[in-house]
């Protein structure tokens, strides 16, 4: 999800701090930092769950007479006074992502590179994890010409296939890592958007669904067909969401990314502008679950509409074949479900697409002028109501609901379940 904030650097982001971290990263104590400049690293609508800062540096070392330049990204949590901080802390997102970058992703990258023989970059390299300050410094992938695709235009088939290919490798490697290192995902990987421990997002989800209901007053046909159903969802969204993420005997389970949408993937292109690699970023909501939740989230928020409405089964099939290929190469020892069984597992979690379609996607596609934040999602003040109404009253969201609501309703996903 996304966040608009007045950007201020952390008080501790000083020259001495950054110089020390660089000396450790480059393994060169002669490094001297000459200049540091910072700027916001994300645009409006690109990040609701953290603060991203681009750090531009100039430094010297004893082995180089010339001043060298470097750019890194700093990811930090919200200030403790921000309402988002309390909610996100309840989901353990900061600790989880630091664990991911220190303990999980290096293993997965080695498995993909060495055993799946995919030499392409899998994740951004980690410069430093600072648990005292809840911060991570990454390499800046834009220096290698990686780009984020437009969240409004969404992804075509070529981009979609590439993401599914890399996602299958990620899921397969994580499932095998769990076999090789029993218990590695037992702690703090059980708190996705829906879970049995914490419902911090519940008031936000309720407020947004109520705004959706109000927006249906502008379309008499949609109001008559769907408003009562949306009103019922206000009270059942969390229960149904929990049910859609619960595990069943025989399910294939792995580490799901948990927040897989357009701005959490970066693409590299060849000279003809074809995507040749996709790198997953932002692992705050990674969760041990069915890979189907990643597929529903991705399909509902990030691929072009004609692919979503007409081609989901074949996209699941495309992903499945690459998942099976990767699992076999990694010598996964447990039973691999058949395609038929996996399609059933995907359909059994279809309610997850209701959450993604009616709550996540409208916020992701927000282009209005109101402050967009978790605080505004929570607020009962006029400004909060105004923001939420502006999300659903936007012409492109109202037009999308004409297709989205029947698509979900025909599957029985808006009825009592």
| Confidence bin at 7 (pLDDT 50/70/90) | low
pLDDT of 107 higher than 60: yes
Q: How far is CA 359 from CA 230, 352, 354, in A?
A: 11, 11, 8
pLDDT of 2 higher than 50: no
Smallest CA-to-CA distance from 267 within 108, 101, 150, 106 is with 150
pLDDT of 109 higher than 80: yes
The HSE-up count of residue 83 (CA atoms within 13 Å, CB side) is: 13
> What are 322-342's pLDDT values in tens digits?
999 999 999 999 999 999 999
> What are 272-288's pLDDT values in tens digits?
999 999 999 999 999 99
pLDDT of 128 higher than 90: yes
The pLDDT, as a whole number, for residue 79 is 60
E strands along 22-125, which residues? 32-40, 51-61, 64-76
Helices (H) and strands (E) in the chain, counts: 15, 9
CB 263 within 8 A of CB 148: yes
Mean pLDDT of the chain: 93
pLDDT of 84 higher than 90: no
Smallest CA-to-CA distance from 136 within 3, 45, 21 is with 21
Dmax over CA atoms of the chain, in Å, equals 73
> What are 378-415's pLDDT values in tens digits?
999 999 999 999 999 999 999 999 999 999 999 999 99
Q: Which residues of 203-227 are buried (b: 16+ CB within 10 A; e: fewer)?
A: ebbbbbbbbbbbbbeebeebeeebb
User: What CATH number belongs to 78-124+147-417?
Assistant: 3.90.1200
This prediction has a pTM of 0.92
User: Domain extents for the chain?
Assistant: 78-124+147-417
Give the integer Cα–Cα distance in Å for 169 and 109. 10
The pLDDT, as a whole number, for residue 89 is 87
Q: Which of 29-43, 76-90, 249-263 has the highest mean pLDDT?
A: 249-263
Smallest CA-to-CA distance from 136 within 123, 121, 120 is with 123
> What are 17-53's pLDDT values in tens digits?
999 999 999 999 999 999 999 988 876 555 556 788 9
The pLDDT, as a whole number, for residue 372 is 86
Cα-Cα-Cα-Cα dihedral of 69, 73, 79, 84, to 10°? 160
The two structure tokens encoding residue 218 = 């502008």
What stretch of H or E contains 241? helix 220-245
């Amino acid at each position: 999800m996304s966040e608009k904030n007045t950007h201020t650097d952390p008080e501790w982001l000083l020259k001495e701090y950054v110089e020390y971290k660089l000396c450790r990263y480059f393994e060169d104590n002669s490094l001297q930092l000459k200049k540091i400049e910072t700027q916001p690293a994300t645009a409006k609508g690109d990040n609701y769950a953290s603060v991203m800062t681009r750090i531009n540096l100039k430094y010297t070392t004893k082995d180089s007479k010339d001043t060298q330049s470097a750019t890194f990204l700093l990811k930090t949590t919200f200030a403790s006074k921000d309402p988002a901080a309390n909610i996100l802390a309840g989901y353990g997102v900061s600790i989880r992502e630091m664990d991911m970058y220190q303990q999980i992703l290096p293993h997965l990258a080695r498995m993909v590179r060495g055993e799946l023989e995919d030499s392409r970059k899998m994740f951004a390299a980690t410069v430093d994890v600072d648990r005292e300050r809840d911060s991570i410094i990454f390499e800046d992938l834009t220096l290698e010409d990686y780009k984020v695709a437009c969240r409004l235009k969404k992804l075509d088939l070529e981009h979609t296939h590439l993401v599914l290919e890399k996602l299958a490798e990620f899921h397969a490697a994580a499932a095998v890592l769990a076999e090789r290192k029993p218990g590695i995902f037992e702690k703090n990987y059980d708190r996705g958007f829906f879970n049995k421990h914490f419902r911090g997002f519940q008031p936000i989800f309720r407020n947004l669904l109520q705004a959706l209901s109000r927006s249906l007053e502008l379309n008499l046909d949609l109001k008559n067909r769907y408003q009562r159903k949306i009103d019922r969802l206000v009270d059942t969204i969390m229960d149904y969401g929990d049910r859609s993420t619960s595990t069943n005997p025989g399910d294939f389970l792995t580490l799901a990314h948990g927040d897989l949408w357009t701005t959490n993937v970066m693409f590299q292109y060849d000279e003809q502008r074809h995507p040749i690699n996709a790198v997953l970023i932002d692992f705050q909501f990674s969760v041990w679950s069915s890979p189907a939740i990643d597929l529903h989230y991705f399909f509902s928020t990030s691929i072009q509409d004609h692919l979503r409405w007409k081609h989901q089964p074949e996209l699941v099939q495309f992903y499945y074949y690459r998942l099976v290929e990767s699992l076999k190469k990694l010598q996964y020892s447990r039973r691999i479900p058949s395609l038929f069984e996996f399609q059933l597992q995907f359909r059994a979690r279809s309610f997850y697409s209701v959450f993604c379609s009616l709550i996540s996607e409208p916020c992701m596609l927000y282009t209005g002028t109101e402050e967009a934040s978790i605080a505004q999602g929570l607020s009962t003040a006029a400004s909060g109501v105004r923001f939420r109404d502006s999300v659903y009253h936007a012409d492109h969201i109202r037009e999308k609901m004409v297709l989205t609501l029947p698509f979900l309703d025909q599957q029985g996903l808006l009825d009592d379940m």
